[in-house]
Amino acid sequence: MKFRKIQEGKINFYVPKGRIYDAPVFFNPEAELTRDISISAIQVFQKQFKNKITICDALAGTGIRGLRYAKEITGIKKVILNDKNPKAVKLIKKNIRENKLSRKCISSKEDANILLRKNVFVVIDLDPFGSPNIFMDSAARSIYHKGFLCVTATDQSALAGTYPESCLRKYGIKSIKTEFYNELGVRILISFIILNLARYDRAFIPLLSFSTKHYYRVFGRVEHAGKIANLLKDFGYVNYCPKCLERKIGNIEKIDSKKHVFENCGLIYLGKILNKKFCKKVLADIRKRDFRLKKDEEKLLKMLIEEAEMPAFYYDLHSLAKKLKTNIPKTEVLIKKLKKRGFKASRTHFCSTAVKTDAGYKKFCKLT
């Protein structure tokens, strides 16, 4: 394998030469933003945990993620960098040596499911190709009862409604096509995590969730079984009419009239996917660091804080304008108008031309 040496954060490391998808070991430089945000999110968790933590980077690739955790987060006991690909593990070992991190980092060459089944970890990071679905049961068993779980999914086409059957097969929930597809995708992923952990009497409390062009990323704290009932109360249906874009959330709607044809998606988690306090702490942590992408990360976190307490789902003004055949005002103008009428309203990171609001569909359409 031919290498080239690069730097990300405080780590200098080797990656395979050549194109990403043909490389013998996977490395995607575009995931720097999620690695940075993960460092800050785990750091915030570690401070609340008040003890040293052990992190399992279960699908480590070159090891960059786990190495950065070991070097850039304080309060780390050990980081396990695991990959089942022998070439990846060879490279992980080389990168551990290169960064003199042998005291904190342990390489491992197991199937992630086996490694997780044999151990308990305070923090587990699942960063797979595509769906994390096949690792979730093992992660649910392995996670410490007051732990912290970080999950990536890159199979956005399944989660966000392009391939509903694929979503049903992988996550047990059939997705639908909507204009708020990115939030629907993230919520289906969160629902899947909650239900997997609930099976082992653990409550998964989502704290920070976002979507980018290439992946969804979710962070959450594990709490005792007593909290599960509250999470399950927030499960319900999304009923969506593709004819007029009306959506009803909660119980299943069977209305099938000339006016509406509701498509149903559920049961999914409709509660909070962002914890404002936690997001503020993550933003404060990012501000203290010298991440290369700091400006973009601050912008994203500010937006997440703005939308943290808004209701589920959003109206995409472009889609609405097309359907209603009207000219819709600019996002900012509409938000001001909604707020003036006493409604909650905000932008959303999920879509730059969308508005989140607690004004119902009819009132919202009247104001546009």
Ligand X SMILES: C[S@@+](CC[C@H](N)C(=O)[O-])C[C@H]1O[C@@H](n2cnc3c(N)ncnc32)[C@H](O)[C@@H]1O
What's the CA gap between 347 and 331, in Å, rounded?
7
Residues within window 129-148 making contact with ligand X, judged by CB under 6 A: 129
For the chain, the straight-line distance linking the first and the last C-alpha, in angstroms and rounded, comes to: 58
Order the strands of the 247-250 sheet from edge to edge.
247-250, 235-240, 263-269
Q: Does 65 participate in binding ligand X (rule CB under 6 A)?
A: yes
CA distance linking residue 63 with residue 280, whole number of Å: 28
With respect to ligand X, which residue has the nearer C-beta, 134 or 229? 134
Residues 27, 192, 262, 269: which binds ligand X (CB under 6 A)? 27
Q: How far apart are the C-alpha atoms of 161 and 178, rounded to whole Å?
A: 7
The CA-atom distances, in angstroms, between 211 and each of 29, 31, 33, 180 are 17, 12, 12, 12
Q: Binding of ligand X at residue 31 (CB under 6 A)?
A: yes
User: Where is 190: in which H helix or E strand?
Assistant: helix 181-198
Question: Between 75 and 130, whose beta carbon lies closer to ligand X?
Answer: 130
Give the interface segment with Zn ion, choosing from 144-152, 234-242, 264-272, 356-364 (CB under 5 A).
234-242
Cα-only R_g, the chain: 21
What is the nearest approach in angstroms of ligand X to the Cβ of residue 281?
23
Distance CA 340, CA 98 (A): 58
Any contact of residue 94 with ligand X (CB under 6 A)?
no
Q: From the list Zn ion, ligand X, none, pick the one residue 237 interacts with, judged by a Cβ distance below 5 to 8 Å according to partner type.
A: none
> Token pair for residue 232?
């399950």
Q: Which does 65 bind (CB under 5 to 8 A by kind): ligand X, Zn ion, none?
A: ligand X
Distances (CA, A) of 143 to 90, 109, 164, 200, 232: 27, 19, 29, 10, 20
Told to check if 341 binds ligand X by CB under 6 A, we report no
What amino acid is encoded at 114 in this protein?
Answer: I
> Which CB sits closer to ligand X, 133 or 239?
133
The angle that helices 32-49 and 276-288 make with each other, rounded to 10 degrees, is 110
Interface region with ligand X, contact rule CB under 6 A, candidates 23-31, 176-184, 238-246, 303-311: 23-31
- The interface mask with Zn ion, positions 296-335, x = CB under 5 A, is ----------------------------------------
Among positions 203-262, residues that touch ligand X (CB under 6 A) are none
Q: Which of 36, 72, 83, 307 lies at the binding interface for ligand X (CB under 6 A)?
A: 83
Candidate ranges 54-62, 156-164, 276-284, 311-319; the one touching ligand X (CB under 6 A): 54-62
Q: Report how many residues bind ligand X under the rule CB under 6 A.
A: 20
One-letter amino acid at 320 equals L
Q: Which of 44, 88, 241, 283 binds Zn ion (CB under 5 A)?
A: 241
Q: How far is the CB of 114 from ligand X (least distance, A)?
A: 8
Interface with ligand X includes 289 (CB under 6 A)?
no
Tell me if 68 contacts ligand X by CB under 6 A. Answer: no
Question: By CB under 6 A, is residue 306 in contact with ligand X?
Answer: no
Structural contact between residues 61 and 31, judged by C-beta atoms closer than 8 angstroms: no
Residue 151 binds to ligand X (criterion: CB under 6 A):
no
The one among 60, 283, 334, 355 contacting ligand X by CB under 6 A: 60
Beta-bridge partners for 204: 222
Nearest partner of 84 among 60, 105, 110, 63, judged by Cα: 110
As a whole number of angstroms, the distance between CA 189 and CA 351 comes to 18
Residues that bind ligand X (CB under 6 A): 26-27, 31, 35, 59-62, 64-65, 82-85, 88, 111-112, 127-129
Residues that bind Zn ion (CB under 5 A): 241, 243-244, 246, 260
